[in-house]
Amino acid sequence: MDWKKAGAINLSQVSLAVAMLIFASPDYINPGLDLAMVISIFIPGLLLLIRINENIAKKIVLVEFLLIGLEYLILFQSPLVIVILYYIILGIGYVFRRAPEATVVAFFLLTFSVFRINFFGTDEIMIDYYSAYLFLHGLNPYIPYNTANVYQFYHVSSLIYGTPITTGGVVTNLNYPSLSFLLLIPVVILHISPNFVPLSFYFATIILLYFILMKHNEKSILPALIAPLLININYFYYPTGGVPDVIWVFFLLLSLSSNNDTLRGIAYGLSASVKQFPLALLPFYIIYLYKERKNYKKFSLYSALTFLFLNGYFIILSPFYYFRDILYPVTASLIGIGFGPSVFSFGGIFYVYKQFFLVAMILVFISEIYVFMTKYRDFKLDWVVFPYFVFLFEYRVLWNYLMYWSFLPYSFQGKSRSRKFLKSELKTAAISSLILISLTLFYHFNFSFYTHSVHVEVLKMQEVEGRVYSILLNVSYDPYVSTLPSRIFPQFRILPNSPMITANGYLWKSNATWLSKNSWEIVNISSPISSFEPHLCRFAIETYYGNLQSFCYINPYQFS
């Protein structure tokens, strides 16, 4: 790693931070904003593959550190004395040529000045916490009915924390390998927030990166890493708010930076035992080890043994439920949310059958393997960020699926190669793009019946003080093809043409019943809480069930 590469990664992280700030409150039914959002997450990925001038990179990082103090003072309301101390520490560091150490001290100073921690924050960490509790009481958390009462047990609203299912209800089952909850056993015993675990791993990751760069005699580039972590406060607020992804990142960094094939395999097995994301790196990792004449067989063996050591017990107890739960994020009918290209589909702008996004991920994955095998020397330091582009095509692209891949290149030693994208690489990208476009059209025109089978008519709308709180609908179900369900239980979501306070959209309650084919019913839908009531602006009523989807666009002024 050198300043050319570190500077590009820095720009990638900062550009992603800007995207996260601008699109923190999504507006799914605005085509222009959706296009801008998709472009804004492609750009950070491309920046991960380029190099920039070393002097320019250093100047950019210096400007960032000068502005960070103002960011924390104005936006995050850090005490003035803390911000002054921050600048003093940086000044001393640069004067005495201890900038790396000074930036680390400044990082912890500003981070703790905005310290806050939720007890849960997400349904994921809550289910993991409950799974650890069940395991301590001799129950298998991979059996769905054991975790089914998680919301009642902790007296938490599924409306706020839940991940909705398109056939009704929310996710309550464990979706990740065993280390995701085994690591939480100490905090369950101590009755403290589970978020202290990912927070500890976040700080451990920063310290690990410091020692990795020190071992490589590349400590001078540490400021390029630290600056984006301070600029993007989400790197800190995610672990304290119940997003534990930094745990698998820590173990993966440990694996990539190790020179011992046994330790490398064990650390990778630990990483894959936290979440499934590291599996997207496995083929590239094996190719890398093979090309570098490392013992990839020993790596594979110890990775598998570590994973089985931690997960084998649960696999033996209930193999069906274990693999069902592990595959659930991909196979389940989860409501469409996120910030990737899928927004055009679940936002009602251009419907594409959900299966397309899995096929697209596989296509991008295979294309990257081909490029890596044929152009290994060009991508020797870049392959660890390849999964970024794979997860861009997930049906549910969340920020935490993308924001951590930029950590991984820091595990490599050596100067980056200055290069341009070759014709062969551009040709592969062009062919893949043409295939993706063709598949998009195929999955649109051949599956459009999913959008033509449910019809909604607005009969009456009620509002108070400019907020719509209840709507009377006529909902009919006329299956366009015989393969569609014989009956459905309609679900409803409001998507206002304005920024929303939740990525799930506004899930409204209704008095709907099971609706048989070729039938209709009058349904009243209403907001469960006042914050889910759209202000008098254009909005969409999404009626859905499974893969069925129907949109009705409303201008409230026509009813006023």
Any idea where the domains of the chain sit in the sequence? 3-117+196-411, 123-190, 451-558
Cα–Cα distance between 154 and 176 in angstroms, integer? 20
State the first-to-last Cα distance of the chain, in angstroms, to the nearest integer: 62
Contact 536, 557 (CB under 8 A): yes
Question: Residue 258 is which amino acid?
Answer: S
Cα–Cα distance between 244 and 250 in angstroms, integer? 11
pLDDT for the residue 555: 86
Q: Indicate the helix (H) or strand (E) that contains 456.
A: strand 454-464
Cα–Cα distance between 71 and 67 in angstroms, integer? 6
352: its two tokens: 């594409």
DSSP per-residue codes, 392-423: TTSSS--GGGTTTGGGGGGG--SPPPP----H
Count of Cβ atoms closer than 10 Å to residue 444 Cβ = 16
431: its two tokens: 């062919």
* Burial label, 79 (beta-carbon count in 10 A; 0-12, 13-18, 19+): exposed
Count of Cβ atoms closer than 10 Å to residue 469 Cβ = 16
pLDDT for the residue 415: 74
CA nearest to 252, candidates 230, 218, 217, 280: 280
Cα–Cα distance between 145 and 167 in angstroms, integer? 18
DSSP per-residue codes, 478-517: --SSTTS-SEE--EEEEEESS--SSTT-EEEEE----EET
pLDDT for the residue 465: 84
CA nearest to 147, candidates 395, 312, 336, 318: 318
Q: What is the pLDDT along the chain (560 residues), one digit of tens a residue?
A: 899 999 999 999 999 999 999 999 999 999 999 999 999 999 999 999 999 999 999 999 999 999 999 999 999 999 999 999 999 999 999 999 999 999 999 999 999 999 999 999 999 999 999 999 999 999 999 999 999 999 999 999 998 889 999 999 999 999 999 999 999 999 999 999 999 999 999 999 999 999 999 999 999 999 999 999 999 999 999 999 999 999 999 999 999 999 999 999 999 999 999 999 999 999 999 999 999 999 999 999 999 999 999 999 999 999 999 999 999 999 999 999 999 999 999 999 999 999 999 999 999 999 999 999 999 998 999 999 999 999 999 999 999 999 999 999 999 987 766 656 567 777 888 898 999 999 999 999 999 999 999 999 999 999 888 899 999 999 999 999 999 999 999 999 999 999 999 999 999 999 999 999 999 999 999 999 999 999 878 999 999 999 999 999 998 776 65
Contact 102, 94 (CB under 8 A): yes
Q: How much is the pTM?
A: 0.95
pLDDT for the residue 418: 62
Contact 228, 410 (CB under 8 A): no
In a 13 Å sphere around the CA of 206, the CA atoms on its Cβ side amount to 24
Summary count for the chain: helices (H), strands (E) = 23, 9
Cα–Cα distance between 498 and 105 in angstroms, integer? 40
Contact 397, 389 (CB under 8 A): no
Contact 128, 181 (CB under 8 A): yes
Q: Compute the CA torsion angle 228, 233, 235, 239 (nearest 10 deg).
A: 170
DSSP per-residue codes, 234-300: HHHHHHHTT--THHHHHHHHHHHH-S-HHHHHHHHHHHHTT-SGGGGGHHHHHHHHHHTT--HHHHH
Cα–Cα distance between 213 and 531 in angstroms, integer? 47
Distances (CA, A) of 362 to 43, 442, 448: 21, 17, 23
Residues 6+ apart with CB under 8 A from 281: 252, 384, 386, 387
Cα–Cα distance between 104 and 206 in angstroms, integer? 8
CA nearest to 142, candidates 286, 326, 300: 326
Radius of gyration of the chain, Cα coordinates, nearest whole angstrom: 25
Instruction: Kindly give the pairing relationship between strand 491-496 and strand 506-510.
Output: antiparallel
Q: Supply the DSSP symbol for 1.
A: -
Q: Identify the architecture of domain 451-558 in CATH.
A: Sandwich (2.60)
